[in-house]
């Protein structure tokens, strides 16, 4: 199927052709016709499958049919996203799709001048892309009214729930007319998502391209069982195997991400970082440098990395496994975007076996072992005066631990396991990103 078979206006089709976007993705093929017909849509698809166009194109097509200008301090459509980076990415895509039309798209996110954003909203806009917190700030200042907003999109809704934005949604949604079209898009389907859909969608059509929570098929996944202290040498070895290709490395905490970035710089890599302790300007500059190839390694936390849509990302490294298993799906979804191939590598220390098991339960499969053998809890020894147990031991067939497990896909980097130290690694805290 081509885009011209979906009923989109000629100007949007011309812009898509100019952008070399010729074939709709499965989620676009399924969602766009329903959205054009005014139906509420609940879309479930992995990251990198074209969800922005799935809701953005029918929104723009509908707005193009509306005559006149929006009233001052109003918006005809509202798109809510959990992070600044994702909101900015949505804005860039929508403006490219709407180039040369009368549709005005605006952005309001934290980290930017509140007064400047309020001034831009004075004229009103056709479509507003916003993060929930900044939108509430502007509502409280009476800089924006939502009583004429007939279209609402909740993008990455699962992440909004994870980040605690449900309270913001409960504050924002009642300000919109009840007679509106609402679309919700997500990569995973936690239980709260059904409650969210029942609260804000009316008789929605559910479209999905794969069972929710499953990573894209073109991502090769592997795991290395390695002691915490041996992760850095192994990461450096793996990065050195593809020195000219972009890699995204995930850490669990803000401080951990910054420390890791500095250590990679010391090892000679052009590395940057994005996390909650960085200003918006610093995050924007790091992403721009990564996108332009000035940085080849970007260390990120889960929250800060949402919205990264850089096709050049070939490798994703889970330096520390996420506490929330659904976040693994979002992390590795930063590679293999728009039909490309990608490789996702996980490093699992003894204290992370619980996280790994939860991740494998969410994705419905075991991740291929590239090196080492699975950790199992160390049994407490009898009191005999001999040394105590460590943080875990290898599951071994008889010999010592550290042997190579099942081979990973050829595209995935592999290395001989690092030396195993017989002490309990310190468990990291669960600081917010």
Q: In this predicted model, what pLDDT tens digit does every residue of 324-378 receive, in sequence order?
A: 888 888 888 878 665 677 899 999 999 999 999 999 988 888 999 999 888 775 4
More confident call, 420 vs 289: 289
pTM (2 decimals)? 0.64
pLDDT of 419-429, one tens digit each?
333 344 444 34
Provide the pLDDT for residue 281: 83
Count of all residues that appear for the chain in the document: 433
- What's the mean pLDDT when you consider all of the chain? 83
Which two structure tokens, joined as six digits, stand for 193?
């998502």
User: Which three-class secondary structure state does DSSP give residue 284?
Assistant: helix
Q: Given a cut of 80, is residue 67 above it in pLDDT?
A: yes
Which residue from 351, 399, 405 is spatially nearest to 375, judged by alpha carbons?
351
Domains within the chain, CATH numbers bracketed: 3-208 (3.40.50.300), 219-394 (3.40.50.300)
pLDDT of 176-234, one tens digit each?
999 999 999 987 777 777 788 888 999 999 998 765 555 556 788 999 999 999 999 99
Which residue from 430, 246, 245, 406 is spatially nearest to 352, judged by alpha carbons?
430
Provide the pLDDT for residue 199: 86
Q: Label residue 3 left, alpha or beta by phi (over 0 means left) and psi (-120 to 50 means alpha).
A: alpha
Over range 392-396, report the average pLDDT: 47
Q: What does the alpha-carbon distance between residue 85 and residue 108 come to, in Å, rounded to a whole number?
A: 12
pLDDT of 109-144, one tens digit each?
988 899 999 999 999 999 999 999 999 999 999 999
Provide the pLDDT for residue 133: 93
Which residue from 5, 2, 28 is spatially nearest to 209, judged by alpha carbons?
28
Q: Given a cut of 80, is residue 263 above it in pLDDT?
A: yes
Q: Given a cut of 90, is residue 276 above it in pLDDT?
A: no
Question: In the beta sheet, which residues pair with residue 254?
Answer: none
Which residues lie closer than 8 Å to 334 by C-beta, 6 or more apart?
47, 48, 248, 305, 308, 310, 313, 316
Within 73-121, where are the H helices? 84-97, 114-121
Q: Given a cut of 80, is residue 412 above it in pLDDT?
A: no
Provide the pLDDT for residue 144: 97
Confidence grade of residue 416 (pLDDT, cut at 50, 70, 90) = very low
Confidence grade of residue 418 (pLDDT, cut at 50, 70, 90) = very low
Edge-to-edge strand ranges of the sheet holding 219-225: 271-274, 297-300, 246-250, 313-318, 342-348, 219-225, 368-371
Q: Given a cut of 80, is residue 405 above it in pLDDT?
A: no
Give the dihedral sign, CA 33/105/150/184: positive
């Amino acid at each position: 199927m081509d885009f011209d078979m979906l009923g989109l206006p000629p100007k949007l089709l011309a812009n898509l052709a100019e952008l070399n976007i010729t074939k709709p993705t499965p989620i676009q093929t399924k969602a766009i016709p329903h959205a054009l017909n005014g139906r509420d849509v609940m879309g479930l698809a992995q990251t990198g499958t074209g969800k922005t166009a799935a809701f953005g194109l029918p929104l723009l097509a509908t707005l193009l049919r509306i005559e006149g200008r929006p009233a001052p301090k109003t918006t005809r459509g509202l798109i809510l996203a959990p992070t600044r980076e994702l909101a900015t990415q949505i804005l860039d895509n929508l403006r490219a799709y709407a180039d040369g039309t009368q549709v005005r798209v605006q952005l309001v996110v934290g980290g930017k001048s509140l007064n400047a954003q309020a001034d831009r909203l004075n004229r009103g806009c056709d479509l507003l892309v916003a993060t929930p917190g900044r939108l509430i700030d502007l509502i409280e200042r009476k800089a924006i009214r939502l009583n004429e907003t007939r279209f609402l999109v909740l993008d990455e809704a699962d992440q909004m729930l994870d980040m605690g934005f449900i309270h913001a949604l409960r504050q924002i949604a009642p300000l919109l007319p009840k007679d509106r079209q609402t679309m919700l898009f997500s990569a995973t389907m936690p239980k709260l998502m059904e409650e969210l859909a029942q609260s804000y969608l009316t008789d929605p059509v559910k479209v999905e391209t794969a069972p929710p929570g499953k990573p894209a098929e073109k991502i090769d996944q592997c795991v290395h069982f390695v002691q915490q202290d041996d992760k850095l040498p192994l990461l450096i070895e793996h990065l050195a195997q593809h020195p000219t290709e972009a890699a995204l490395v995930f850490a669990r905490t803000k401080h951990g991400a910054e420390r890791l970035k500095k250590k990679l710089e010391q090892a000679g890599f052009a590395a940057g970082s994005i996390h909650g302790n960085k200003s918006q300007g610093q995050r924007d500059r790091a992403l721009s440098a990564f996108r332009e190839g000035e940085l080849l390694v970007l260390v990120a936390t889960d929250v800060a990395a949402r919205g990264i849509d850089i096709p050049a990302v070939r490798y994703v490294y889970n330096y520390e496994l996420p506490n929330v298993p659904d976040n693994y799906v979002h992390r590795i979804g930063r590679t293999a975007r728009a039909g490309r191939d990608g490789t996702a590598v996980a490093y699992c220390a003894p204290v992370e076996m619980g996280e790994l098991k939860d991740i494998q339960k969410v994705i419905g499969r075991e991740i291929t072992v590239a090196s080492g053998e699975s950790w199992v809890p160390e049994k407490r020894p009898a009191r005999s005066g001999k040394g105590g147990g460590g943080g875990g031991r290898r599951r071994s067939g008889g010999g010592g631990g550290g042997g190579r497990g099942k081979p990973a896909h050829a595209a995935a980097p592999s290395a001989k396991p690092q030396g195993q130290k017989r002490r309990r690694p310190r468990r990291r805290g669960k600081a917010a990103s």
